[in-house]
Structure 1
Amino acid sequence: MAKKLRFALVASCALTVCAPGGGAAQTAANTSATTQARSRAEAIVAKMTRDEKIALVHGLFPPMAEGKTDNELIPSAGHIDGIPRLGVPLVRETDASLGVANQVEQRKGDVATALPSGLATAASFDPDIARAGGAMIGSEARAKRFNVMLGGGVNLTRDPWNGRNFEYLGEDPLLAGTMAGAHIAGIQSNRIVSTVKHFALNSQETGRMVLDARIGEDALRESDLLAFQIAIEKGRPGSVMCAYNKINGDWACENAHLLTDVLRDDWDYRGWVMSDWGAVHSTVKAANAGLDQESGQELDKRIYFGPPLEQAVESGAVSEARLDQMVVRYLTGLIETGAYDTPAPKTAQKIDYAAHAKVAERAAEAGIVLLKNIGDLLPLDGVRKIAVIGGHADKGVLSGGGSSQVRSVGGAPIEIPLASGAASSFARITYHASSPLRALRQAMPNAQITWVDQQDVEGAKKAAREADVAIVFAVQWATEAQDVESLSLPYHQDALISAVAEAQPKTAVVLETGGPVLMPWIEKVPAVVEAWYPGQRGGQAIAGILTGRVNPSGHLPITFPKSPSQAPRPEPVGLDRLNSLEAQAAANPADASDYQLQSFPVDYVEGSDVGYRWYEKTEATPLFPFGHGLSYTRFTYGDAKAMGGKSLTVSFDVTNSGGRAGADVAQVYVKRAGSDMPMRLAGFRRVMLKPGETKRVTVTAEPRVLAEYDHNMPGWRIAGGDYRVAIAHDAADRDLMVEATLDPMTMKP
């Protein structure tokens, strides 16, 4: 790589906390700790044989690795033997971001606490919520003898139908990076490793193993890579996981530009890069590009970092120094997080599941979004007769499928195997045993609450007419490995909602979805609640919101479109090809292996204008904008002032002008005056206020959001001049505007 010019680093600021890691002193301390960890790792590697080094750069997939190690194989995601003579610990890896996963009950009877979906946590706009959830699931991982947790998904939501949207943290790089960093830090507070994933542009599941994501360098830096950069700065994960897909022609796990130029040279990342499971395609190219470890080797076409790597080192195709570097980075990640010196326990430890359930419930409460509430239908104050309809609300709450699936405490009252599809081998439609119906009855003992299954439309209409209020629960299941083919609710639920709303004008809809859905019935329904996949205490959290025990405070981390045509792509790219191949394979089962999806391009025409920026750029009005969220009280902003110069600081009053205590999420959006660039979220603050209370809030804008990336420098460039600032309730709110003048400035990549 050509030598790059360097520019003075401007401290990165988000909210009122400036500089990556919390300030210059903290950054220096972090650098010192990393340097010490690397020096120690180098000393350990110097004592290793080549065989020992090779053994550490490829890991087993336990379900397929019987007999390949003398150590116990816990059915899980990954296993790497240690080197006892040098004190290198055995590593056991578990999925994922929402809890200690046990997808299809490989470990019989093993349960764990299930957090709400990533989108639910992101909807809280509260890094403390993200950190608390990470700390809780990380403690359970350690107690279950794992020391690497494959959590920390930060891929931006570019398309509303992505099957893994529910795992991630929304469409904005500042929000996603901030929340991911807090979550990672929480996990690693248990002296285990957290990963950040999937690096990069794993933005759809259709053809995820073969697609080629195409985007310009500047746009990529300003969007997805900025989210990763912020997450790494704030969370300091021990490992980065590269993705399945290609980026601009090269596989993510052998993409030298991403793994070396960006991650190592520009961001000075010192931990190790692990592959996703089944994402390695070569030995020499991958190793020299910057991949340090082949994960779950049995899922690759061959074991690339075993004997083939040893042969490559012997021939000089991969240098001995590069092999040493791979192992040093692996050990550095383990040492710096504490996983090296605090090995996982040899026997399972006791877990306080009751205390952990409260963490999950608090996260669900903070992330549930009140989308609509005409006539203050909610909360259900004084309501005596309620009809609860659909969504299996009598049994539990829905969860998303795939590697993040947690078998939660209390079990799975509903679990439906998949008969076909890419996810059928490791995903089931699963509900957590947290019944909203039961929770409502406990919360409202004096109310008459009836229940009707979603299949009984006539019974639902009758129950709704006879009740004071009807509540329809609607679900949309999403999973890793396949995208949602339609944004419409499945199982004829749109028709059910319309029928109930016609029978009972006072109808509320509670959505349990993996992302945005269309709402053709929206004008008929006065109240809508987005509960996401609310985790193992979701029923109690939903009941708390509906009854008013909890004042809703969630805000959308993702735009809800009015129609699929508003999105940059109206359906998954490559879905038509996949469906055609699956049809051919079904018609010719003997030759099914011949029908394989070939690599195809996905052009990200929106560039860095992801999500709400795309809607502003195209002048499209969504159903609900990014940042939207209502409360049972009312918040107003005033006395706004902006100060410019070398940084942008915005101060304003937030007042609770209603009658209930509640939390508001004040958002600051910025753009350069005269620019045709859409406004960008540059800062946010969650504020708790009593009725009538006013607090002065100060937000310092993240400078890279104010800047444009210039690959010719290379680096970030803030153009001097006037900037327009919106203090807003959501991305479409422009009622309170101020201006400030900024000095021109450059920053390193």
Structure 2
Amino acid sequence: MRRYLVLAMGSALSIPAASHAQSNKSGDPDTRAAAVEKQMTDAERVTITHGIMAVPFGTTKLPEGLLLGAGYVEGIPRLGVPALTETDASLGVSYVGGLRGDGATALPSGLAMGATWDPDLIGRGGATIAGEAQAKGFNVLLAGGINLVRDPRGGRNFEYLGEDPLHSGLLGGAAIAGIQSRHVMSTVKHFAINAVETGRQFHNAVIGDSALRMSDLLAFEIAIERGNPGSVMCAYNRVNGASACGNDALLNGVLKRDWGYKGFVMSDWGAVHGLDFAVKGLDQQSGAQLDAKLYFGAELAEAARRDKRYKARLTDMNRRILRSMYAVGIDTYPPAKAPIDIAANARVAQDVAEQGIVLLRNRDVLPLAAKAQRIAVIGGFADSGVLSGGGSSQVQGVGGPVVAIPTVGGPFAAVLAQSYQRSSPLEAIVARVPKADVVFRSGRYIADAVAAAKKADVAIVFATQWMTEGLDAPDLSLPDGQDALVSAVAEANPNTIVVLETGSQVVMPWLEKTAAVLEAWYPGARGGEAIAAILFGDVNPSGRLPVTFPASVDQLPRPKLPGSDTVEPNFLGYGKPGQTLDIDYNVEGADVGYRWFAKRHAAPLFPFGFGLSYTRFEHGPLTIVPGAAPVARFAVTNTGKRSGADVGQVYLTGTPAGDATRLVGFSKVTLKPGEKRILEVPIDPRLLATWKDGRWDMAAGTYRFAVGSSAADLETPVASGFLARKW
């Protein structure tokens, strides 16, 4: 309880005081940055304001001995300014199509991390991958993906943490703090409202200021407060007409003025469209080969010589970048090639996977008994490995993918291959029951899978949904006819268990035919072992959904995917010259995910926060301690016969203006059978307020709260009175 309060109200993972003092031994970051910037020559002032994509691409000549990765920003040795060596991403050190010839530990996908509801564990994961990055020679991780999941078809949903701003903000901040505790700089991305990939270079997210402040921007605000990232990465898309990387209202207005952010804004790779982006708030042009030209080099220097605005801006750009270097300590603790404890890091990845797997259905078939004699394992390349998402965040272990299925040709073929981690669920199951008769069928032929299922005591179907950066899913079905496969196997064997490895939400037309369903997401480096541990009860499932699973696309704010009939799918996101695409997010506004369903009184397939266990829990009673920093106090009791972890979730259910549904706090706790724990969860007043006339406005009156096990399963609300506040 006390640990959670620290996580929620301060940094999610504290940097040791001794390390912090050492990294600032020459003065505070702002003072150091100003002093170094004053010593720069005019030529040096445009050195760290731009970088290249650090892979062979186009005609750009790479520096000799360059560490291949996402990006490289040249340093200034004369002034002791280190180069920035950048790697993707939130899930581990990117594989970059195998160009470096090495592997890294793959954490489970962002949604799997979100399903843990455990900031401390996510902080450990961040520190783990940062340690690997530093040992490989990198000092920047392009991590911290926290865009809200507004559309389950979004291609990058697997990189993000969920649909709720508090949940994503707290977990995202924990990941960032964990990364930077190892003196590796982290970004937070993609700022802002990067919800789909269709036409990502030009589509325009249209949304009102109030709705944006109370949803996607609030997630960023909380993550920045908790994690203090060195950099914010802006998005490809437009927001209310202006490119996100040249959006004066977002970058200069919200981020730097309103939030007082002291770090720097780097562009996404290929997201800069003009020199004027500098005066609109962008501090660094990244991956310049993908832009039409280098704007933040000689052209910026010339503009600074003739225009006072650009001169002042260039000074600020350099100071912000330097400040982040010094605040994180990448100058004092430079990266150095070193051995990596792959086994220890894989254990962290497995911990995340085990806590992130969500048990969605169980008709008393799980956990499986070790004495199970005949098991049919079907589909999903379960004999080889577990699925991972495509694009820049692709991580693979030593030896590369065990299976790689091409999906496109051309220069991006390697990063867009449907690739599998070297962690076989089949092997993990066989190891758990070595005397059982375990057979595998690929699922290519339904008749073959059905024949095997009929002979088995239990059939375990692995169903996959590959998703990737650059491309959205056309619908919510399982691809390659897998829905038909699951349905046929379930009809043949009533003890059919479905293990889903998906990048986002899917529909389940076969659900009622199955005995059990596990959502394993993309479970990472030790995903096979984690799945087996849940199936056989070595680990009691404690994952809770970070997103709402709709029953059909008809329940979505936009049943038809915007641009699906006008924009040609393209990994880079370019359209035809002059092509436009407006996406109206005012339809749902701040009511993302479960809030949309609550507002419409619609029943989803599975609600946000849902997840079953092999034991049972009771919540309450709930009391609210009002005040400037209100606190929710409630009990969680394990009423079952097994130890297990539960997530107590507190929701706002009503305000003086009427009904409302908002997550305002949560805490994950592990309890023995019969154990009861009193939890105290702080409530951020912003979650009780509305954004109005440029500030938070909290009306006086009665507010109702409830505690429960999901957004749709809440106890009788309790009421508490609050005074009016504006800030």
Per the shorter chain, which TM-score range?
over 0.9
Distance in 2 between the 1:374 and 1:148 partners? 46
Cross-structure match for 2:424? 435
User: Does the 8 A contact of 1:158 with 1:203 survive in 2?
Assistant: yes
**1:510 Cα shift?**
0.3
Verify: 1:81 aligned to 2:74, yes or no.
yes
**1:226 Cα shift?**
0.4
Distance in 2 between the 1:426 and 1:453 partners? 25
Which letter maps to 1:79? Y
Verify: 1:681 aligned to 2:663, yes or no.
yes
Cross-structure match for 1:394? 383
**1:570 Cα shift?**
1.6
Verify: 1:649 aligned to 2:631, yes or no.
yes
Distance in 2 between the 1:557 and 1:229 partners? 19
Distance in 1 between the 2:668 and 2:429 partners? 28
**1:419 Cα shift?**
2.6
Verify: 1:134 aligned to 2:123, yes or no.
no
Verify: 1:253 aligned to 2:245, yes or no.
yes
Aligned pairs for 1:279-318 (under 5 A) are: 279-283=271-275, 285-316=276-307, 318=309
Counterpart secondary structure, 1:639: strand
Cross-structure match for 2:317? 326
Cross-structure match for 1:727? 707
Distance 1:212 1:243, change over 3 A: same
User: Does the 8 A contact of 2:212 with 2:589 survive in 1?
Assistant: yes
Distance in 1 between the 2:145 and 2:310 partners? 32
Distance in 1 between the 2:410 and 2:472 partners? 11
Distance 1:248 1:67, change over 3 A: closer
Distance in 1 between the 2:69 and 2:406 partners? 20
User: Does the 8 A contact of 1:15 with 1:702 survive in 2?
Assistant: no
Verify: 1:98 aligned to 2:78, yes or no.
no
**1:673 Cα shift?**
3.8
Counterpart secondary structure, 2:312: helix
1:266 to 258, 263, 266: 258
User: Does the 8 A contact of 1:398 with 1:432 survive in 2?
Assistant: yes
Verify: 1:746 aligned to 2:700, yes or no.
no
Which letter maps to 2:397? S
Cross-structure match for 1:179? 171
2:608 to 618, 626, 651: 626
Distance in 2 between the 1:697 and 1:256 partners? 42
**1:317 Cα shift?**
6.5
Distance in 2 between the 1:425 and 1:358 partners? 27
Distance in 1 between the 2:58 and 2:412 partners? 21
**1:76 Cα shift?**
1.1
Which letter maps to 1:701? I
Which letter maps to 1:313? A
Describe the superposition over 1:652-709 as per-residue Cα deviations: whole angstroms up to 9, x where unpaired.
Answer: 2111111110000010000434534531000000010001111111112121111111
Distance 1:565 1:50, change over 3 A: same
Which letter maps to 1:302? K
Counterpart secondary structure, 1:308: helix
Which letter maps to 1:87? G
User: Does the 8 A contact of 2:12 with 2:170 survive in 1?
Assistant: no
Q: For structure 1, which segment, 313-322 or 468-477, has the greater mean C-alpha deviation from structure 2 after superposition?
A: 313-322
User: Does the 8 A contact of 1:103 with 1:407 survive in 2?
Assistant: no
Q: For structure 1, which segment, 634-643 or 240-249, has the greater mean C-alpha deviation from structure 2 after superposition?
A: 634-643
1:336 to 304, 327, 338: 327
Distance in 2 between the 1:564 and 1:420 partners? 31
Describe the superposition over 1:59-90 as per-residue Cα deviations: whole angstroms up to 9, x where unpaired.
Answer: 01122387756553222111111111110011
Aligned pairs for 1:15-54 (under 5 A) are: 19-21=9-11, 36-54=28-46
Which letter maps to 1:509? V
Cross-structure match for 2:454? 465
Cross-structure match for 1:599? 580
2:643 to 661, 686, 692: 661
**1:378 Cα shift?**
3.3
Cross-structure match for 2:189? 197
Describe the superposition over 1:352-385 as per-residue Cα deviations: whole angstroms up to 9, x where unpaired.
Answer: 1011010000000000000010234433454221
Distance 1:716 1:362, change over 3 A: same
User: Does the 8 A contact of 1:148 with 1:192 survive in 2?
Assistant: yes
1:715 to 695, 705, 711: 695
Cross-structure match for 1:373? 362
Cross-structure match for 1:698? 680
Distance in 2 between the 1:366 and 1:675 partners? 38
Describe the superposition over 1:297-322 as per-residue Cα deviations: whole angstroms up to 9, x where unpaired.
Answer: 11101111112112211221643221
- RMSD, aligned CA: 2.4
Aligned pairs for 1:358-507 (under 5 A) are: 358-380=347-369, 382-419=371-408, 424=413, 426-507=415-496
Distance in 1 between the 2:196 and 2:45 partners? 35
TM-score (norm 1): 0.92
Describe the superposition over 1:287-342 as per-residue Cα deviations: whole angstroms up to 9, x where unpaired.
Answer: 11111000011110111111211221122164322111100000001100011222
Distance in 1 between the 2:590 and 2:183 partners? 35
Counterpart secondary structure, 2:125: helix
**1:466 Cα shift?**
1.2
User: Does the 8 A contact of 1:275 with 1:295 survive in 2?
Assistant: yes
Verify: 1:542 aligned to 2:523, yes or no.
no
Describe the superposition over 1:584-618 as per-residue Cα deviations: whole angstroms up to 9, x where unpaired.
Answer: xxxxxxxxx99457121111011000000000111
Distance in 2 between the 1:69 and 1:383 partners? 57
Distance 1:689 1:334, change over 3 A: same
User: Does the 8 A contact of 1:513 with 1:531 survive in 2?
Assistant: yes
Which letter maps to 1:276? D
Identity %: 50
Distance 1:594 1:548, change over 3 A: closer
Counterpart secondary structure, 1:169: coil
**1:91 Cα shift?**
1.3
Counterpart secondary structure, 1:361: helix
Distance in 1 between the 2:20 and 2:719 partners? 36
Cross-structure match for 2:269? 277
Distance in 2 between the 1:71 and 1:708 partners? 54
Which letter maps to 1:601? D
**1:104 Cα shift?**
1.1
Describe the superposition over 1:526-568 as per-residue Cα deviations: whole angstroms up to 9, x where unpaired.
Answer: 2100000000100000000000001000000000000001011
User: Does the 8 A contact of 1:645 with 1:741 survive in 2?
Assistant: no
Which letter maps to 1:430? S
Counterpart secondary structure, 2:713: coil
**1:647 Cα shift?**
3.5
Which letter maps to 2:581? F
Distance 1:502 1:412, change over 3 A: same
1:528 to 490, 495, 517: 517
Distance in 1 between the 2:20 and 2:169 partners? 19
Distance in 2 between the 1:659 and 1:542 partners? 22
Counterpart secondary structure, 2:174: helix
**1:55 Cα shift?**
1.4
Describe the superposition over 1:251-299 as per-residue Cα deviations: whole angstroms up to 9, x where unpaired.
Answer: 111111111111111111111110000000110x211111100001111
Describe the superposition over 1:127-152 as per-residue Cα deviations: whole angstroms up to 9, x where unpaired.
Answer: 01110110000000000100011001
Which letter maps to 1:351? I
Q: For structure 1, which segment, 490-499 or 408-417, has the greater mean C-alpha deviation from structure 2 after superposition?
A: 408-417
2:338 to 333, 336, 349: 349
Counterpart secondary structure, 2:97: coil
Verify: 1:570 aligned to 2:559, yes or no.
yes
**1:30 Cα shift?**
10
User: Does the 8 A contact of 2:136 with 2:338 survive in 1?
Assistant: yes
Distance in 2 between the 1:104 and 1:42 partners? 39
Cross-structure match for 2:210? 218
Distance in 2 between the 1:163 and 1:742 partners? 41
Give aligned pairs, total: 715
2:590 to 577, 594, 608: 608
**1:15 Cα shift?**
5.1
Distance in 2 between the 1:484 and 1:67 partners? 33
Which letter maps to 1:557? P
**1:49 Cα shift?**
0.5
